[in-house]
Every structure is written in C-alpha cells, then in structure tokens.
Structure 1
Amino acid sequence: MDDEFQKKLLQQVEQLENRIALLERNQHLIAAGQRRSTLRGLWRRPPMWTFEQYPPRLLNMKSFQPAPPPPANAPRIAMVTPSYNHAQYLGATIDSIVRQNYPNLHYHVQDGASIDGTLDLLKSRGDSISWRSERDAGQSNAINLGLAGTDCEIMAYLNSDDMLLPGTLAYVANHFMTHPDIDIVYGHRVFVDRDGLEVGRAVLPPYNGKVLQYADYIPQETMFWRKRVWDKIGPIDESLHYAMDWDFILRAQAVGFKFQRLPRFLACFRIHDAQKTAATYAVGVREMGILRRRSLGFDPTQAEIRRAIAPYLALQIAYHYGYKFGALRY
C-alpha cells in the first residue's frame, strides 16, 4: 500500500468518525428534547387527568387486590345512582354494585323519566334494587331524592356510567369500622372507555387539604362518607350542576371532617362522548370559579392555581411511575 493511498484512506476514516460523532451528538440532543417535551406534557396534563393513557385493553380484575370479606356486623351503606337516558351503561353500573354481595346495602336508582329503554332495564331487575323514575331538577336533585331519609351509616353516589371494582364496599366498610376518626374516604381510579375497556389508571398521593382549595383531585366515583357528614353540612347543592361533588368536599373540609385516601383502586370512571363532564365544561369553569372564591376568599389567577397545585402534581407523577414500574403496589 503506497503512502498516498494510505493517507487518503486515513482521511476518509477520520471523516467517517467525525460524521458518526456528529450523528451521536444529534441523537442525544433529540432524545433530550423528547425527554423535555415529555416532561412538559406531563406537567401540562398529569396522569391523573389524562384519561386515555394507552390503547384499550380488557380490564384484568386479577391485577387488583383480592376482594376482602364483608365485616361482621357490617354497617349499613346507602348508595344512589342518578340516571337519565343512560340505559347503554346503567346495567353495568347496577351490576358492579349488586355483585359486591354486601350484606347490608340499600341501593337505589333515581331516574329522571328516561325515554331510552332505562325503564325496561329497571323493571327487569325485579326486587334486587330500589328505583324510581320521575322528572327531576337535574343530577344534584336526583342524588338528594335518592338519599333523603335513608337509614344508614355510610353514604355514596355512583353515576350511571361508572362502576365499582369488586370488594370496594367491604373494604370501605372495614376501613370505617377500624378507623372511627375518619369521616370521608376515596381511592385510586381506573379509566374505561364506552365499551368498558381499560384505557388508563390514576394513582393518587395522600390527601392534601390546601391543594383541594385550588383544584378538585378527588375521584367522585371512589368517595364514601359517614352519614354524620351529610347531617352536619347538608345535602348536595342543587344550584350546582358540574362541581357539586367538589362543593360537598369543600364544605366538609371547612368544618373539620377528616379525609383519607385509601391505598386501593375502588372504581372505574367511564370516558365517552356524551358524558356530562365534557358536555358542560363551560358551566364547570364558572362553578369552579365560584367555589375557589368562596373557599380562598379571592379569585386566583391561572398562574396562582398552577403554583399552588404544582407540588401535588409532581408527587402524583412520582406515584404514577412508581406504580407503573412496580415500586408501589395497590
């Protein structure tokens, strides 16, 4: 090999090495940019408010804690489902409660005179549930009608498109019996689509009362409370049609009732096009503004809201990935 040829070959090798180094550097920059973009995306929309996190898949009940047995002398639980033209989902909601086989349950469906087949569905259930179908003044009014005068120790409502996970009632009852100082409980949630397929999960950090004044992070479908809460603060505010659960929570917090996030998945929140949460968002913005002003004594800016809830959101992201990678188990 002559010297000239060898010199050219070495130059070509050097040029190739430089190009590889440049490509590797660009790859690192792209990856870093993607990581920053992912982090910004998580910050803008954390997992607990990201409903569709992965392609739909069957809801694997074996992935959750096994259902506990009901407690001896099980406390009476009263639940109501407010319903209006939700026959498509109502059957699954009813089944998720009845199949708990909880021995001391009063379950009532308060329907707003539906015209979509709901009546036939309710009639087909025979004596397995209590129900009434009549015109009402909206969801809040239906909840109050269903729970009015109920003889019970624990109360809750489950919307007509959501579902309880197996063992939830027994678990909640056991917890209330062994923790007499706790007044309101809630837990982790699963997101399902219109077909009941799982599309996401929300793992929540422990209760934070200060953050709750700025944003409602408590999954309503997982929430249960002692009747003494209802007796003290009164029923659902029927002037509210979107944020009535947050209003109930804030009123309970304001008078000193004690909250606890339970370390368990308790219920499924269904995502679909016709759900009230999406359809009445403008109403929700107005109602949430009213509740923040009442709770805080001023109207916070969006920047103030973000600053106030930032530590909780960061913690929720940590819980999400801790659960995803097996460091946390529920």
Structure 2
Amino acid sequence: MNRLPLARRTAAALLLSAALLAGCSKAAPSPSDAAAPPAGATKPSGSYIALAVEPGTLSLSPGAKKQVTVSGVKKDQSKQPLAGDKSLTLSSSAPDIVTAAADGTIAASAQAKTGQTAIVTVQYGSLKKDIPVTVKTSLDDTIATVGGVPTVTNPDALDVVVNKQRSMPGTYIPKLIEPNVPFTFKEKSEKRMMRPEAAGALEQLFAAAKKDGIQLYGISAYRSYATQKSIFGGNVKSQGEQTASQFSAKPGQSEHQTGLAIDVGDGNPKCAVEQCFADSPAAKWLVAHAADFGFIIRYPKGKESITGYEYEPWHIRYVGVDVAKEIAKQGITLEEYFQDAVAAGTKPKQ
C-alpha cells in the first residue's frame, strides 16, 4: 500500500478539520439569525392565567347579534384586551343555530327557534372559556288565552313579562323567603317575601348601598292575586277605574305576584312610593347601581306608552345581572328587551 509522506498526511488532516468546522457553523445559525414571528402574532397564553369574556352569557333573538369582549387575565388579575390577536379563536357547538366570528361577534340564525342553545368556545393558546348562548324567548311564544284572559305560560322565568296584556295565572304562588333587609314596617306580612334568587340579590344591593352611605328600606314585595284584587278594588272605589289603572295593576297583572319585584324607599314617608323619590340620593344610586345586582327600574320615565304605567322610580324588578345590564345600558324597558316595544298588545294563542 502506498503511503503519503508524513508531512503531506498532516497537512491533509488539518484541511479536513477546517472544512468540518466551517460546515458546523453553517448548520447552526445564531439566535439572531432565527426567523422573526409574523406581524400581529402574540405568544398564546404566555403571560395569562385565564380568559375573561364580557358578557359571560348571551340571550339573542333570532337574527340578532352581539359582540363580546375577550381579555387575557394576568397573575395580578389585570386584564389585557385580545381584540385583533390572531391567536384568538371562537367556535360554536351548533353553527346552524349560533355563529361566532374572530372579532367576537356572536349571531343567532334568523331560523333559530325559541329556547335553542349553543356553546361558543373562546380559545387562546391553551386557555379556553365557554359562553352559553340561548335563543331568546319570544313574547308570542309565552302567552296563551286561559279562561278568556291572556296569560303568561312561563311564570317561573326570571325574565317573565307581566303587564296589562299579559297576566299571571291566578293560582300561581312562587316559592318565597324573607330577605334579610330592613322594611318600613315591623309586622310579619307576605309583602316581606320574595323568590330566593331575588331575595339574595336584594340583600347584596342593600349592603352595597349602605357601604356607599345610602340607607334603603323595603316597602312592599310579594303580593298574592287575592291581595292585588283587594288593592285594585280599593283604588277603583276611591279614584275611579281609569285613574286607578294608570298606577295600579289589576289582579294577575301585577309584577309583585311574580315574587321578583319590590317597592323600596329611603325612609322618608313623604316620598314613599311617590315620584318625588326620584330626586333622592337613594333613587339616583339605584339608577346607577341596581343593574349590578340584577335589578331594573321597571317603569322608567318616558316609557309609559310601552309599560302601561306611570313612572315609578321606587319599583325595582329582578331579572338577573346579564339582562339587567343590557336593559340599563340601552335605556330600554323589559318589553323592548325582547325587541318588540308593542309586545304588550300581542294577540294571545287560542
């Protein structure tokens, strides 16, 4: 076997080592040479521990849509809106009923039916948040003629609409408890009682008002069909039916029978259940904060032609936080919330 001289073999080995070193440097570029992330991209869930969605639940009429706001929640509980982030996705469990777009717009199909539901899942990296969506109850679907009287068919619903064209069943009596709040009277009475959901929320509302220096008192909560019959009859005798109907409900047409409504005051007897209550700090506090606890001012000023009743700043009604905030934000009534301002006059099913 022919061998190269030692000197030449040594030189060849050195050249081979240099070539290998050069190849290695090309195969492993420095971090500064790595490709940059695409514009607009954010590292999914890197600095967030959870997602926050507002509103957290939706109730949409067929064909209606609403945009939700999605934020990333950091360890210090601060929130960063994620609008426009390409890593954010929304998907629907039932696209034929509800659709969800990347910009946060959630829409109910025009063909969706009352009571249908879907879950919209918001995802950002490994973080997920579900938004329950319900196709809003139609007022036409929740009324029927019973004994010649247009009567609601969903008396247990928190958003039941009761007015002069939509009566509660005469035999309806909800489950009732007494909220732990001060009243303007000491005796035991049915007008201290409310449905548990409303009673708990009322306790929180009164506590928050007191923290802000506002003392509230309950005046009249639940009223049975029989009690309302007696009250209305007395008002008719003293003021005539036409005048009485402007401020007093006929039996079955009172929200108080639902167990979700209560008249409140600030302890001033002069303005108890009178419109002058509207000028009090307590009434102004209610306008600003009632929705945070699921209550609305049921008979607002300027909406008499829709609600059928005069302005009552003292009458608050529990409908749940999401519905209350929507109504307060838009400055509408419960009737208008169902996208039918003249729904109080809809023809009942035969």
**Alignment TM-score, normalising by the size of structure 2:** 0.26
Q: Which has the larger radius of gyration?
A: 2
Higher RCO (CA < 8 A, seq sep 6+): 1
Q: Quick check: which one's strand share is greater?
A: 2
Q: Quick check: which one's helix share is greater?
A: 1
